[in-house]
Amino acid sequence: MEDKTFNKTKLNTVKRIPKRGSYDKPTIYTILDSHYLCHISWEDAGQPYIIPTAFGRVEDKLYIHGSSKSRMLSMLMDGRPMCLVVTHLDALVLARSVFHHSMNYRSAVIYGHAQKVEGEEKMEALRVITEQIIPGRWDEARLPNAIEMKATMVLSIEIDTASAKIRTGPPSDDTQDYDLPIWAGLVPVIHGYEDPIPDPGMKISQPVAQSAIEKVKKYQ
């Protein structure tokens, strides 16, 4: 039977407000699959780095891509330890006291090692990343040619361990502060997309791509 939980280790254990931590794979993967932008951190010669990039997921593996001359990818491909973070902001939490103001969020922290991907898996990885960003687009656009594939590097990241941290619900004030005449509550954060804008350089008039229509519709 497949293990559906990451073991708690010194590396992935949530220490600050541990009740908000989760090591359940479905929970963590839902957070990952609901986004396509991550931040990746690593260290080189004592200097820490962190870079935002797009990603895609297949089971216990993540894919990232970039220029074949990318410094980040060139460093990560040697298998050094790295960390990847994805965060969703759901609401601003306004408490009666400044101290207890917070945010409702869902975050996933991934620890792993990367390796270079070639051949058929490389093309499949690019499809996975594209489809995570905007489902359906891969079949609408021209696929990469040999020159473009050579100019592109793809890495796979095997997830060694991971954890999620989630905050939900209203503010949590000190007992005595509930008697103060101060408004408290949530300011929900809404993520969405506006109507697609055609490229003015289009030479042949075309209807809006179905992938773009569906992306907008999903978040309306």
Helix (H) or strand (E) holding 74: helix 71-76
Asked if the structure places residue 156 within a domain, the reply is: yes
Please tell me the predicted confidence (pLDDT) of residue 3. Answer: 81
Both 200 and 165 in a single domain?
no
Both 142 and 41 in a single domain?
yes
Both 162 and 205 in a single domain?
no
User: pTM of the prediction?
Assistant: 0.92
Q: How many domains does the chain have?
A: 2
- Tens of pLDDT along the chain (220 residues) come to 468 999 999 999 999 999 999 999 999 999 999 999 999 999 999 999 999 999 999 999 999 999 999 999 999 999 999 999 999 999 999 999 999 999 999 999 999 999 999 999 999 999 999 999 999 999 999 999 999 999 999 999 999 999 999 999 999 999 999 999 999 999 999 999 999 999 999 999 999 999 999 999 888 7
Both 58 and 151 in a single domain?
yes
Distance, CA of 60 to CA of 163 (rounded, Å): 13
Both 135 and 43 in a single domain?
yes
Distance, CA of 138 to CA of 130 (rounded, Å): 6
Both 129 and 57 in a single domain?
yes
Both 199 and 142 in a single domain?
no
Both 113 and 220 in a single domain?
no
104 and 93 Cβ atoms separated by less than 8 Å: yes
Asked if the structure places residue 152 within a domain, the reply is: yes
Q: Strand, helix or coil at 94?
A: strand
Phi and psi of 164, rounded to 5°?
-120, 155
Both 41 and 138 in a single domain?
yes
Q: Strand, helix or coil at 26?
A: helix
Distance, CA of 22 to CA of 12 (rounded, Å): 10
Distance, CA of 23 to CA of 188 (rounded, Å): 26
Structural domain harbouring 47: 18-91+101-169
